[in-house]
Structure 1
Amino acid sequence: MQVLFKTSYDQDIDHLVDRGERIRVSLAVLLALVAPLLLGSYFLGELSIFLVYILAGLGLMLLTGFTGQVSFGHAAFLGIGAYAHSVFLGQGVPFLLSLPLAALLAGVLGAALGRAVSRMHGFYLAIATLAFVILIETAIGEWTPVTGGHMGLQVPPMVIFGHELYEAWEQYYLILAVVVFCIWGVANLRRSPTGRRMIAVRDSETSARSLGVDIARTRILAFFLSAAITGLAGGLMAHLLFFLAPEAFGIPESLKLLLMVIVGGLGTITGAIFGAVFVTVLPNVIGLLREVLPPAIAEAAGLEQFLFGLIIAAFIVFEPEGLYGRWRKLRLFLETYPYYKRATFVRQKRYLKTERFR
């Protein structure tokens, strides 16, 4: 097992604390940079979608993983970002201005939702966010003059300083730069006073309030930042979809995002990345599964949503820390073998005694 000997105060603020972690992250970044040299246009497109889901998962992770607010309606912010960005581009707004404006609009609506549900918890919060995604999907479908309604909306191309990003590798590098910047930003936010207040609210609102934390303000800010990042992902996703329809941002997409953060591992940035890998591969696995299942089951409506719900329930019951938690256990086993103890990761209660007063 590796032991860290710190020799300077700067090591206390390092994002990557050990050599093995630095090597893994460096290899991942290197592979991401050279991917266009190794992959064709189709696989680059799939990799771009994977990066967009990392960004969307990062937004939901900030709300659910860091602040403890469950959202069943985050696909609404994905749709708001996609449609707002496309409409702005159609009105002649430059790409570099349209994308942050779309993210800002999604963030403002997220803050409004956060203000409305700032005193809700658990089941009531989940129902409120579920109603929000239904409301946004309906509004997009009915606002035909602006969004095209159920006929859909054509997405204008990416144009930066007069140059159209037509090639897949150009779009890939742009999306990669945005994702890396947002990961860096969220990593810094998490250890800032604001991020620590969010984590305090997640762990115990009663304890956080006794320490002077404004619970409502923290939750509203979390909704704003989470919705803005998800809206940013929606704006980038629009260019990968080429054509927008309101059905693409409904309850199934919200369920997919929630599946991503729960399966990946709540409360960690790495969990959002693991979850994005999972939800990117899962549709292909379901497609293979349909070929071996009896026709009555394979052709049944809602099979994909049923499997999503089943996987979420299984991870909550058997592996609450998700794929990242499983990876931590495997890594510790390899580092400490043959001295590994099963009791090292005994499941403990995640709430404080003060939460029992609720």
Structure 2
Amino acid sequence: MRFVFRTRYEQDLRLWRHRGDLIAYGLLGIVLVLFPFVAGSYYVGEANLWLIYSVAALGLMIGIGFTGMVSLGHSAFLGIGAYAHAYFMQEGVPFLVSLPLGALLAGIMGVVVGRPTLRMHGIYLAIATLAFALITQEVMSKWSAVTGGFDGLPVAAPKFLSIQANEIYGGEWFAVGGVHVGWAELWDPSSLYFICLFVLAISALLAKNLLRSPTGRAFVAIRNSEISAQSMGIHLAQYKTTAFGISAFVTGLAGGLFAHQITHLAPDAFNIFLSIELLLICVVGGIGTIQGAMLGALFLIALRSFIPIARDGVTAWFGDAEMLSGIVRFVNAPGLEAGLFGLLLVLFIIFEPFGLYGRWLKVKTYFDLFPLYKKATFARQKSYVKTERLR
């Protein structure tokens, strides 16, 4: 067991608690970098979805986990970032400019939405953000000049300056001193994987630094108790609007990456079910933790891959049995996936409000204290998430 003794206030603001954390995350980074070289294209594509959902959930985590503002409208910010990025690239804006520009537009819309909803809490704020998501989806369907309407909007391949021609990718090349230089189109899953991994690493680092800053500590104070935060001189309107803007910006950044993952945008891709998926990721992973966003996204991607396999297995096992045909009809019924996600959300809120990351901390504590571990170690844990604490 490792004991961390703090003798200075600055030690509480470090990125790493101790050298063991730095080594563990370094090894994880090496594994993630080497993953595309040993995995097939299907698994790389699934990993891309995991990274994109992690970034989007990290954006939602800033609002719901750090500041305590429940939102069911983050699918709208994801869609705004995706459509804006695709439109800017279609107009000839470079990838490295259009991606943050689309995220900035999503952040501005987050400020616009967050400002008039400052007095709303809990279910009322969730309903307001849900209404914004429905309005945004309707705008995506009707604004054909920009979004393409129901026909959708094709997403151009990102281009980066390269010094060596490759037959796999397209692009225009020219020779400079015998060296091929040009803009190479990076469209394959492995190239997108490294872009998503870089964006996730930067987003996680910025979120960690945000929590260490006075602004992030003000967010946490507002989450725990708005009355106490206001009594300490924290301007609620200013910080809650800032949190909503930052949350929408990060989610919009994920939207730009999501556009390249699906390659063709349509309004149906950014429905309310996507917002529920993002909320499920945060609750299942662990509200208020950066690691929870990544663990929850991993759980969601694994569950979405497992459901079709389970359906095929149940159909093959019970398809010929007449008395068990009801089971086959049930597992193949439309809407089963949404119902299962809702059930998992309720079960985690009731039985494991700290999520998968909280469970990992409990297991780690058990082995650290064994055989002196007591069952009452986590007895004071509440059976509700932090965003629903008494104010």
Query: Is the TM value for this pair above 0.5?
Result: yes
Which residue of structure 2 lines up, in the alignment, with residue 281 of structure 1? Answer: 302
| Matched position secondary structure for 2:70 | coil
Q: Which has the larger radius of gyration?
A: 2
Which residue of structure 2 lines up, in the alignment, with residue 122 of structure 1? Answer: 122
Give the deviation of 1:266 after TM superposition.
0.3
Alignment-mate amino acid for residue 139 of structure 2: A
Which residue of structure 1 lines up, in the alignment, with residue 68 of structure 2? Answer: 68
Alignment-mate amino acid for residue 228 of structure 1: F
Are 1:157 and 1:164, in contact at CA under 8 Å, matched by a contact in 2? yes
Which residue of structure 2 lines up, in the alignment, with residue 47 of structure 1? Answer: 47
Q: Describe the shift of the 1:170–1:288 C-alpha distance in structure 2 as closer, same or farther (beyond 3 A).
A: closer
Partner Cα separation in structure 1 for residue 355 and residue 144 of structure 2: 41
User: 1:298 aligned to 2:298?
Assistant: no
Which residue of structure 1 lines up, in the alignment, with residue 369 of structure 2? Answer: 336
Alignment-mate amino acid for residue 314 of structure 1: L
Q: Given the two structures, how large is their TM-score scaled by the length of structure 1?
A: 0.95
Alignment-mate amino acid for residue 243 of structure 1: H
> Aligned ranges for residues 129-168 of structure 1 at < 5 Å?
129-161=129-161, 162-168=183-189
Alignment-mate amino acid for residue 113 of structure 2: L
Which residue of structure 2 lines up, in the alignment, with residue 34 of structure 1? Answer: 34
| Matched position secondary structure for 1:116 | coil
| Matched position secondary structure for 2:81 | helix
Are 1:56 and 1:257, in contact at CA under 8 Å, matched by a contact in 2? yes
RMSD of the TM alignment (CA)? 1.8
**Identical amino acids, percent of aligned pairs:** 48
Partner Cα separation in structure 2 for residue 166 and residue 280 of structure 1: 22
| Matched position secondary structure for 2:71 | coil
Give the deviation of 1:300 after TM superposition.
2.2
Q: Given the two structures, how large is their TM-score scaled by the length of structure 2?
A: 0.87
Are 1:76 and 1:133, in contact at CA under 8 Å, matched by a contact in 2? yes
Partner Cα separation in structure 1 for residue 191 and residue 160 of structure 2: 11
Partner Cα separation in structure 2 for residue 268 and residue 7 of structure 1: 25
User: 1:217 aligned to 2:238?
Assistant: yes
User: 1:105 aligned to 2:105?
Assistant: yes
Partner Cα separation in structure 2 for residue 166 and residue 316 of structure 1: 39
How many residues in Structure 1 have an aligned counterpart in Structure 2?
Answer: 355
Which residue of structure 1 lines up, in the alignment, with residue 179 of structure 2? Answer: none
Partner Cα separation in structure 1 for residue 7 and residue 73 of structure 2: 46
Are 2:155 and 2:263, in contact at CA under 8 Å, matched by a contact in 1? yes
The C-alpha deviation readout for 1:290-341, integer Å capped at 9, x for no partner, is: 3327133123222111111111110110010000000000001111111111
The C-alpha deviation readout for 1:187-225, integer Å capped at 9, x for no partner, is: 000110100010000000000010111111111111100
The C-alpha deviation readout for 1:55-94, integer Å capped at 9, x for no partner, is: 0010000000000000111111111111110001111111
Partner Cα separation in structure 1 for residue 330 and residue 188 of structure 2: 40
Which residue of structure 1 lines up, in the alignment, with residue 320 of structure 2? Answer: none
Are 1:68 and 1:202, in contact at CA under 8 Å, matched by a contact in 2? yes
Give the deviation of 1:23 after TM superposition.
2.8
Partner Cα separation in structure 2 for residue 351 and residue 143 of structure 1: 39
Are 1:204 and 1:351, in contact at CA under 8 Å, matched by a contact in 2? no
Partner Cα separation in structure 2 for residue 13 and residue 163 of structure 1: 42
User: 1:237 aligned to 2:270?
Assistant: no
> Aligned ranges for residues 11-26 of structure 1 at < 5 Å?
11-26=11-26
Alignment-mate amino acid for residue 100 of structure 2: P
Partner Cα separation in structure 1 for residue 137 and residue 350 of structure 2: 31
Which residue of structure 1 lines up, in the alignment, with residue 278 of structure 2? Answer: 257
Which residue of structure 1 lines up, in the alignment, with residue 172 of structure 2? Answer: none
Are 2:74 and 2:133, in contact at CA under 8 Å, matched by a contact in 1? yes
Give the deviation of 1:42 after TM superposition.
2.4
Alignment-mate amino acid for residue 323 of structure 1: L
User: 1:347 aligned to 2:380?
Assistant: yes
Partner Cα separation in structure 2 for residue 7 and residue 221 of structure 1: 33
Q: Describe the shift of the 1:9–1:216 C-alpha distance in structure 2 as closer, same or farther (beyond 3 A).
A: closer
User: 1:317 aligned to 2:354?
Assistant: no
Give the deviation of 1:259 after TM superposition.
0.1
Partner Cα separation in structure 2 for residue 235 and residue 138 of structure 1: 20
Unpaired runs of 5+ residues, structure 1, are: none
Give the deviation of 1:10 after TM superposition.
5.5
Unpaired runs of 5+ residues, structure 2, are: 162-182, 316-326
Partner Cα separation in structure 1 for residue 79 and residue 9 of structure 2: 44
The C-alpha deviation readout for 1:243-294, integer Å capped at 9, x for no partner, is: 1111111011100000000000000001111111111111122223333271
Alignment-mate amino acid for residue 209 of structure 2: N
Are 2:353 and 2:385, in contact at CA under 8 Å, matched by a contact in 1? no
Alignment-mate amino acid for residue 59 of structure 1: G
User: 1:198 aligned to 2:219?
Assistant: yes
Are 2:287 and 2:385, in contact at CA under 8 Å, matched by a contact in 1? no
Alignment-mate amino acid for residue 328 of structure 2: P
Are 1:203 and 1:351, in contact at CA under 8 Å, matched by a contact in 2? no
